[in-house]
Amino acid sequence: MSPRRRKGSPPTPSVSIPEAISLLSTAYAPLPHEGRLEPAQELVFTILSQHTSDTNSARAFQQLMDRFGALEAVAQAEVADIEAAISIGGLARVKAPRIKLVLNRVLELNGSLDLTFLREMPLAEAKAWLRQLPGIGPKSAGIILSFALGMPAMAIDTHIYRVCQRLGFIGPKVTADKAHDILEAAVVPEQVYQFHVSLITHGRQTCKAQRPRCGDCVVAWGCPSRDKFLIEKEIPTSSPS
């Protein structure tokens, strides 16, 4: 069901993905640059970042590396010691055994923790290789391939997923996992990283989950969800006294 419009108003034009990338990149320039880790480090960092803030996950990763020096040592460490090192990041009791498990699985499959060989593989095969690891889904695989290896893999987080649904880039019933394939096919490889950074910034700063700031949005003119939020804003939440 399409969003309601004011009676007599013309249909909202749709912004295209290339237009959105261009407008959002300009609006938020300079876009934040995501620092790159080695692929195996990025793999561990994605686990640490689950259900916690960027600040806390970064601190947990730094403490992990300070404590063990290298991921090979983490793979051989006791779970309790890993847990103590990453406690600042939250959910350490869950994440510590997961980190040890995934590192040892990589060693079992690859013989080392050097994952740079993925760069030489076709994108679909590289994603499939990572997704065989325990707990690594489309988002984590996309982050590792895009951020650490510079490959055009899509990584859809909650902000990008929300913005894409509101802009009509994906349907309302499309799952987050399916969105990776749809959007990866819709965005030219050269713009995948820019798409990610511009949309995630937009979701964090303007197209917020609870109260989107449509009046400040540079793509509101082409957003099919705009009228819905503007109408809701106009409807009083309680009866006037």
Query: Catalytic amino acids?
Result: 139
**Residues listed for the chain:** 241
User: Please, which residues have CB within 8 angstroms of residue 190's CB and are 6 or more apart in sequence?
Assistant: 152
Give, in degrees to the nearest 5, the angle at Cα 115 between 189 and 63. 105
Any idea which residue has 């960027």 for tokens?
Answer: 54
Can you tell me whether residue 126 is helix, strand or coil?
helix
Q: Which two tokens stand for residue 188?
A: 């030219």
Q: Residue 5 carries which side chain, given as an amino acid letter? A: R
How is the chain split among helix, strand and coil, in percent rounded to 5?
60, 0, 40
In the three-class reduction of DSSP (H, G, I as helix; E, B as strand; rest coil), residue 142 is classed as helix
C-alpha–C-alpha distance, residues 12 and 98, integer Å = 46
Q: Which two tokens stand for residue 141?
A: 């695989």
